[in-house]
Amino acid sequence: MQKKWLALMMLIAALAVVRGAVAQTGNSSTAEAVPAASATTLTAAFPEFIPVVCYHRFGHYGAKDPYFVTPEELKQQFEIIKSEGFTPITTAALKAGLDGTKPFPEKPLLITIDDGYADFVNIAQPIFKEYGYTATLFVYIHFIDSKMGLSHGQLQQLEKDGFEIGSHSWTHPKLTKPTPAEAAKGMAAFYQAELNAPYQKLKEWLGHDIIALAYPYGLWDTDSAKAAQEAGYQLMFTVDQGTNNAATPREQLKRIMIVHKTSDKMFRYLINDRPLKLASRTLEPGQHITGPVESVTLTIDPEQSRELDPKSWVILKGGIKCKSAYDAAQQKIIATFAQPWTHGTDAVMVVARDKAQQKHYKETWLVHVAPPVPEGGK
Ligand SMILES: [Zn+2]
């Protein structure tokens, strides 16, 4: 049983690091705390967890590019969404639910599609129509009206058809690591070009404020999250793996990346992850630190931990399992990385199960480690 569980974890971790799409996620309760809903009915109905799935392309090219999901796979995954009782909603409905202005359906779920490839309209949209499902398309402006991208007229039509458009920057840069050319005019100008300008362009095309941003490559840090808030976005989506609840910071919303050959079992598993709460952690979400870092110390949330199997904790860094020591008295876990973390961006993922072996909990977050400054260096 333990072995099987671990095998599944490793598989999930592998899925998480598919191609350059850096990592998965985590939450914490930094920054903008989500106000507790005051309406009692709404509080009672607040969903235990909200999964957000993330697709890119549709078609039969998965062998060459795992970001292509076939129409058959998409249909099968919609069958799972339906049989698990989820109702797809838009980011506008997510915001209204979080704000407490409109109640959630019983089991909300979001379907998002990144980049803005025209294959959405040709291949996926008829399947969405068949199921009556909505989605949010995160598009980057530079790609729109290009040969393989949707046209801005199609974006307008998609909104008329009940879909929603969100921003995915202007040129799809790494917001956490601009190239020297991108950084040349300073970070304020970089954020202005990649966060504010696409907001304004989409607003011009669509005629309304834009609610959501998906960070290109899922790469985010505390600075880009702040810049996105200042640009006017209200919900920011990562690809940090896991699901969301009322405590998930709105600039760190988690998503589940779906690629070619994601098994039915895996898909069902991922959309049923529960958010794992940590009381504290020594590496904070979106933080930049100087390496080397050898371990992370986690303090477990005392209330949630009562439900959890103390033998079930698994901590992964960049998809690789850490050696971890659980201190029951202190409610602490010290996870030591397989190799000292000297530089680079990676996801830290923490997973646990409940004692009844019914539910699984996950927290994932990105940390950016800079190389150590050489001693007596320049
Ligand atoms: Zn993208």
pLDDT in tens, 303-353: 998 999 999 999 999 999 999 999 988 999 999 999 999 999 999 999 999
Cα(303) to ligand 1 centroid in Å equals 37
User: For the chain, what percentages of helix, strand and coil (3-state, to nearest 5) are there?
Assistant: 30, 25, 40
Same domain? 282 vs 365: yes
Question: What domain count does the chain have?
Answer: 2
Domain-embedded: residue 6:
no
Cα(137) to ligand 1 centroid in Å equals 11
Same domain? 53 vs 64: yes
Does residue 242 have a pLDDT over 80?
A: yes
- Per-residue confidence band for 91, with pLDDT thresholds at 50, 70 and 90: very high
pLDDT in tens, 340-368: 999 999 999 999 999 999 999 999 999 99
Domain-embedded: residue 187:
yes
More confident residue, 129 or 1: 129
Cα(332) to ligand 1 centroid in Å equals 36
Point out the least confidently predicted range of 34-43, 138-147, 278-287.
Answer: 34-43
The pLDDT of residue 12: 56
Cα(144) to ligand 1 centroid in Å equals 13
Cα(149) to ligand 1 centroid in Å equals 12
Cα(358) to ligand 1 centroid in Å equals 34
| CA 89/CA 111 separation, integer angstroms | 8
| CA 112/CA 120 separation, integer angstroms | 11
The pLDDT of residue 305: 87
Cα(121) to ligand 1 centroid in Å equals 17
Cα(198) to ligand 1 centroid in Å equals 14
Cα(168) to ligand 1 centroid in Å equals 7
Same domain? 238 vs 253: yes
Cα(336) to ligand 1 centroid in Å equals 32
Domain-embedded: residue 295:
yes
**Strand locations in the chain (E):** 52-55, 57-58, 68-69, 87-89, 108-115, 136-139, 164-167, 212-214, 235-237, 256-257, 274-275, 278-281, 287-290, 293-300, 314-317, 320-321, 323-327, 332-341, 344-353, 360-370
* pTM summary value: 0.89
Does residue 29 have a pLDDT over 50?
A: no
Point out the least confidently predicted range of 37-51, 205-219, 349-363.
Answer: 37-51
Domain-embedded: residue 114:
yes
Cα(179) to ligand 1 centroid in Å equals 17
Mean confidence (pLDDT) of the chain = 90
Same domain? 289 vs 149: no
Does residue 15 have a pLDDT over 90?
A: no
Range of 76's domain?
A: 31-275
Same domain? 75 vs 205: yes
Does residue 65 have a pLDDT over 70?
A: yes
The pLDDT of residue 93: 97
Single-letter residue type at 255: R
Single-letter residue type at 99: D
Cα(115) to ligand 1 centroid in Å equals 5
Cα(166) to ligand 1 centroid in Å equals 12
Mean pLDDT of 209-219: 98
Cα(156) to ligand 1 centroid in Å equals 20
The pLDDT of residue 328: 84
Cα(329) to ligand 1 centroid in Å equals 44
Mean pLDDT of 88-104: 96
Point out the least confidently predicted range of 35-49, 68-82, 304-318.
Answer: 35-49
